[in-house]
Amino acid sequence: MNESQRPLASLLEFSIASRHRLRELAGRHEAERRVGPELVRELAALGAFRLLVPSELGGGEGTPSG
């Protein structure tokens, strides 16, 4: 795995490990029409918001199509 794939792998591992909790949170998030701050913090720590950022800016340089 190269460095640019690490955030995606971490996000995938997080999603699999947290799927039951994420399902429980989904109803609350939909009712509030926003994602709760605790989940935003976790996703930010994993680098999820940098996946599509160009590598020269410190991101994962992913593309929406994969």
The set of residues, in sequence order, having a beta carbon less than 8 Å from that of 15 and lying 6+ positions away, is 22
d(CA 65, CA 27): 28
> pLDDT class for 25, splitting at 50, 70, 90?
very high
Predicted TM-score (pTM) above 0.75: no
| Residue 31 burial class via C-beta count within 10 angstroms: exposed 0-12, middle 13-18, buried 19 and up | exposed
Question: pLDDT digits over 28-40, tens only?
Answer: 999 999 999 999 9
DSSP 18: T
Q: Give the mean pLDDT of 11-17.
A: 87
Q: Is 61 helix (H, G, I), strand (E, B) or coil?
A: coil
Helix, strand, coil percentages (3-state) for the chain, rounded to 5, are 70, 0, 30
